[in-house]
Chain A
Amino acid sequence: MIMKPGKLQVKSLSLYIPIESVVKEITQLGFSEVASATVITDAKFWIKRVFKKNQEYISVSDEIGDADYLRDPIVTIYGKQKTVKALRKLE
């Protein structure tokens, strides 16, 4: 599907990379953190951080607590195509 570059779209990514790398990329894109909270879903505890840049939003959910399996931060984007593209490169 052809998208207008300036049109805001939704996309969710499950990234098998450290949270620090994800946050670094988001910050470099010009986003700043506006809120964070402890979230419980799927019987797991997560820290959800919300980043904002003008009309664009990115939320990063990172699992916390004891777990011996590989964790994957969940990145949900409501943003421009170039923001989605930049974060998809991390996949």
Chain B
Amino acid sequence: MPIYECTENQFIENLRKMIDTNFKIIVKRSIKIHADIKHNISRVPDCEFNKYNRIMRRSKQRANVYSVKPFYDEFHNRFYIDDFKVHSARYSRMITLSIPYFKVEYSFDIWGETYAYNFDVLFNPAVKIERRNIKPITLKGKNKSKSVLLHVLSFKPPRLETLQIELPQSVLIFDVNQKIKS
């Protein structure tokens, strides 16, 4: 069964043509959260990276990324010291800061063919100064945790409107987990 990948424009227009001919359509929708290395801090364009420039720097897209201040990554529970290599262009699978995202898949079937439109929506970063308890690591064994002010990086999920495609009521939308290829 062939699956045709569409752009947003193609998918909506294909769907519209079906609606206009009074076809009854079932659109399958899958929205899943991911936090793998597919989208990382080095790959994003400059205008997206600028949201992080209070705490990180890079020379260009896909280059090494370094911390410019000590910061705590709340989503991944990681603390970065100043001038630390946050992302390595050479070892990008091992040393990186991944950006969580929603993987959204829309599809419909007609005459044994599937038409699909897939997109990923990034979480929005927020950098703020907060008081946190951190435990200094020294060679002298146990240390008491200290309460300090530091930069905290957190990720906020995008609003629902950016994940959804508004469709007429005549179109049935079924939420699914994943498509199992037969």
Instruction: Check: A45 CB closer than 8 A to any chain B CB.
Output: yes
A10-B61 in contact (CB<8A): no
B interface size (C-beta, 8 A): 34
Instruction: Check: B168 CB closer than 8 A to any chain A CB.
Output: yes
For B103, the closest partner residue in chain A by CB is A40
Measured as residues with beta carbon below 8 angstroms from the partner, the interface class of chain A is 20 to 34
Instruction: Check: B73 CB closer than 8 A to any chain A CB.
Output: no
Chain A at the B interface: SS class = strand
A12-B12 in contact (CB<8A): yes
For B13, the closest partner residue in chain A by CB is A12
- Can you list, as one digit per residue, whether each of B4-23 has a CB less than 8 Å from chain A (1) or not (0)? 00011101110110011000
> What's the least CB distance linking B172 to chain A, in Å?
14
A74-B45 in contact (CB<8A): no
**Interface positions of B (Cβ within 8 A of A):** 7-9, 11-13, 15-16, 19-20, 39, 44-48, 61, 101, 117-122, 124, 158-162, 165-168
- 20 A–B contact pairs at CB < 8 A? A10-B166, A10-B168, A11-B12, A12-B12, A12-B16, A34-B159, A37-B158, A38-B121, A38-B124, A39-B119, A40-B122, A41-B118, A45-B45, A48-B121, A57-B161, A64-B45, A65-B61, A74-B9, A78-B166, A78-B167
**Interface positions of A (Cβ within 8 A of B):** 1, 8-14, 34-42, 45, 47-48, 50, 52, 57, 59, 61, 64-66, 74, 76, 78
